[in-house]
């Protein structure tokens, strides 16, 4: 029990909360066919965080959030610029913007890597769930001991706040979000401000990506945005049910992923741990695969567009 509380509880909670907030937002991304915005934002979180670290010398959350937020804004502006001026399609513009910024991030990371403080390419890419140890959680009573609770890794509180924020956003902006996802023109005619909603959605995606970044790294967070909602999409036609399915799938991926990564090798008799973040995306992918194969609403009604 003590081992579970110390080593597994916090990663489970952090992974679950991250996956819930990402899945919630990911529903709208999948509906709007903007899944790759999540890809772009997740990639540029890295240079943003590295830049803020180099400028402020600290890894404090506000600095990281600001850095990644600024990077996201720069990326979006760059994408718009490239699309308008270059007259290429959105995905190409995205590709140029986020790969260049990511390369800049890698360069900054490697070149300043001599400092070696807590930030290195591997962790930025794969996340660091395994390091979220609750040293004070050595007995069951620690769960309601304020002093022990104060020793919880700060990532947990951060991720909890972000999940709350995301939940609030989805609740408050529900109508504009839903309308804008299906018919932007109609939404505009009703005064639902699709442009503003889109902007806010992207900002929330950036916030959720940054919070999840620490847990699962910048590339695996994409799995959290896309796989559970995509699987849910294939299960039902109704948006509320889709949201519910996506949260279930997200929770399942997170919990199974963390458990399999931490204890799976032990069950096979090997004394090692696997990457929790990687496992989470693998489980999410398996769920998606099952949904693609057996989901009740997986069929396309019309033939695919070219």
Compute the distance between CA of residue 294 and CA of residue 297 in angstroms, rounded to an integer.
Answer: 9
Binding test (CB under 8 A) with another protein, winner from 49, 66, 261, 262 = 261
Q: Which position among 2, 60, 103, 290 is part of the footprint of another protein (CB under 8 A)?
A: 103
Nearer to another protein, 177 or 277 (CB): 277
Q: Going residue by residue from 119 to 138, which x/- string records binding to another protein, judged by CB under 8 A? A: --xx--xx------------
In the complex with another protein, the residue whose CB is nearer, 5 or 227, is: 227
Position among 6, 59, 106, 133 found at the interface with another protein (CB under 8 A): 106
Cβ within 8 Å of residue 228, ≥6 positions away = 19, 23, 26, 245, 246, 247, 249, 250, 253, 284, 287, 288
Instruction: Out of 18, 76, 230, 250, point to the residue binding another protein (CB under 8 A).
Output: 230
Q: How far is the CB of 176 from another protein (least distance, A)?
A: 22
- Smallest distance from another protein to CB 292, Å: 5
Phi and psi, residue 136, nearest 5°: -85, 0
Q: Looking only at residues 15 through 74 of this chain, which bind another protein when binding is defined by CB under 8 A?
A: 30, 33-36, 38-39
Record the tokens describing residue 85, joined without a space.
Answer: 């001026």
Structure tokens at 276: 């929790």
Tell me how far, at minimum, the Cβ of 59 lies from another protein, in Å.
21
Query: What does the DSSP assignment read for 125-192?
Result: HH--GGG---TT--SGGGGG-HHHHHTS-HHHHHHHHHHHHHHHHHHHTHHHHHHHHH-HHHHHHTT-
Helix, strand, coil shares of the chain, percent, nearest 5, are 80, 0, 20
Question: Contact between 104 and another protein (CB under 8 A)?
Answer: yes
Binding to another protein (CB under 8 A) within 167-186 occurs at none
Q: Does 100 interact with another protein (rule: CB under 8 A)?
A: yes
144 binds another protein (CB under 8 A): no
CB of 30 to another protein, least distance (A): 5
Closest CA to 74 of 103, 90, 97, 108: 97
Choices 13-21, 202-210, 244-252, 270-278 (CB under 8 A): range interacting with another protein: 270-278
Interface with another protein, residue 113, by CB under 8 A: yes
């Amino acid at each position: 029990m003590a081992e579970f509380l110390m080593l597994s509880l916090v990663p489970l909670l952090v992974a679950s909360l991250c996956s819930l907030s990402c899945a919630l937002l990911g529903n709208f991304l999948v509906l709007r066919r903007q899944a790759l915005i999540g890809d772009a934002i997740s990639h540029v979180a890295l240079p943003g965080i590295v830049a803020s670290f180099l400028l402020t010398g600290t890894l404090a959350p506000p600095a990281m959030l600001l850095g990644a937020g600024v990077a996201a804004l720069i990326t979006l502006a760059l994408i718009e610029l490239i699309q308008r001026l270059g007259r290429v399609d959105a995905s190409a513009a995205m590709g140029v913007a986020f790969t260049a910024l990511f390369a800049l991030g890698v360069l900054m990371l490697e070149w300043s890597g001599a400092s070696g403080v807590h930030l290195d390419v591997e962790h930025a890419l794969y996340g660091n769930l395994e390091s979220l140890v609750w040293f004070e959680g050595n007995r069951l009573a620690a769960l309601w001991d304020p002093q022990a609770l104060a020793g919880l890794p700060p990532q947990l509180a951060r991720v909890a706040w972000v999940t709350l924020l995301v939940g609030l956003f989805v609740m408050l902006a529900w109508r504009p979000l839903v309308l804008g996802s299906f018919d932007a023109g109609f939404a505009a005619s009703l005064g639902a401000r699709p442009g503003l909603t889109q902007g806010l959605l992207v900002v929330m995606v950036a916030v959720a990506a940054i919070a999840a970044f620490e847990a699962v790294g910048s590339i695996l967070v994409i799995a959290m945005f896309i796989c559970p909602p995509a699987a849910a999409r294939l299960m039902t036609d109704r948006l509320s049910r889709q949201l519910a399915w996506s949260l279930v799938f997200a929770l399942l991926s997170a919990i199974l992923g963390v458990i399999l990564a931490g204890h799976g090798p032990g069950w096979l008799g090997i004394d090692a741990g696997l990457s929790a973040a990687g496992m989470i995306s693998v489980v999410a992918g398996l769920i998606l695969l099952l949904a693609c194969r057996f989901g009740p609403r997986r069929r396309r009604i019309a033939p695919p567009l070219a």
